[in-house]
Structure 1
Amino acid sequence: MLLVHGPAADDLFRKCRHEAFHLEVRDTYAVASESEGLRRFLAGEPDPTDYGQRPWAQFMRETVGRGVTVRRVRVVTVPHSDYQRWLLSITVSNVAAGEDIRYVPRHHAGNVPPDDWWLFDDELVAFNLVDRDGRPAGMAVTSDLEIVDRCRGVRDRLWALATPYADYLNSVDTR
């Protein structure tokens, strides 16, 4: 496996030709740039952030604009964690940027891998690494066919169970 950090991870998307798929399995994340938005959400304060203008949303618009399909499945515990409730409130900006994001309640998901990962063009898997405090710590990248095949199978199984973001949002209590 190859360890990549920061801007090198963006190159995985830039080299992607057809599809980037992300599996998310954590109920909470410790991303420093999200802490203020989460704090405001939990305090019931308006959030002045335009999430559609975040660098990630702009990067996804560029990626999708090149003809790359970007899909995610979020496996979530119900009732939702505070973090997931907040994420549900801002995911509309990711969808507007071109991502197809879907949800599977954990109790319907069956056996789920313990780690988040990206699958690029059904050829490369990049595992999202976190430190012991849950902060992002880079990606471990492999093209090992056995690992890629396993991730493809997980993707296909969970995608078949997943509910599109808008439908999921309309079907759950986010309080």
Structure 2
Amino acid sequence: MRLVPGQSSNDLFLECRSDAFHLEVRDTYAVPSESAEFRRFLDGEPETVDYAIRPWVQLMREVAARGVTVRRVRVVTVPHSDYQRWLLSITGSNVAAGEDIRYVQRNAAGAITPDDWWLFDDVRVAFNLVDQDGRPAGMAVTDDPGIAKYCRDVRDRLWQFATPYVDYIAGVHTRQ
């Protein structure tokens, strides 16, 4: 495995040719650039950021425009953590940029790794690294065929029954 610092991880998306898939398994993240807006959400204050112009959304728009399929499954605990509730409120920008984001409840996910990872073009896996406080700390990247196969199998299994964001969010609002 090779370590890729956080600022270099965009290169993995720029090198991707056909498909990028992300498995998210954490109920909360400690992303420094999100802390102020997350706090505003918790305090019931209005958003001050246009999520459609965040660097991540712009990168996803660029990647999707090149014809790369970007998919994501979020494995979530219900009831949702505060962080997941906040993500649900802003994910529409990601979807509008070209990401296909779907949800699976944790109790239905079966055996999965405790780590988030990206699978690029079915052959390269990048594990999201976090420090002891849960802050992003880069990625550990491998082209190991066995690890890639495992990730493809998990992706294919979860994708079959994952609920698309639009349907999931409609169900969340219906239950409230």
CA contact (8 A) 2:129 2:138 kept: yes
Question: 1:111-159, CA deviations, whole angstroms, 9 ceiling, x for partnerless residues?
Answer: 1210000000001000000011000011000000000000000000011
Question: 1:25-62, CA deviations, whole angstroms, 9 ceiling, x for partnerless residues?
Answer: 00000000111111111111101210000011111110
CA distance in 2, matches of 1:80, 1:97: 24
CA contact (8 A) 1:19 1:121 kept: yes
Deviation of 1:8 (Å): 1.9
SS at match of 2:9: helix
CA distance in 1, matches of 2:6, 2:78: 32
- The reply to whether residue 29 of structure 1 matches residue 29 of structure 2 is yes
Give the count of matched residue pairs. Answer: 175
Correspondence for 1:114: 114
Query: Match for 1:72: what amino acid?
Result: R
CA distance in 2, matches of 1:111, 1:64: 30
- The reply to whether residue 164 of structure 1 matches residue 164 of structure 2 is yes
Query: Match for 1:16: what amino acid?
Result: C
TM-score, scaled relative to structure 2:
0.97
TM-score, scaled relative to structure 1:
0.98
Deviation of 1:6 (Å): 2.6
- The reply to whether residue 73 of structure 1 matches residue 73 of structure 2 is yes
Q: Which runs of 5+ in 1 are unaligned?
A: none
Structure 1 runs (4+) greater than 4 angstroms displaced: none
RMSD across aligned positions (CA): 1.0
Q: Which moved more, 1:6-15 or 1:89-98?
A: 6-15
Deviation of 1:69 (Å): 0.4
SS at match of 1:128: strand
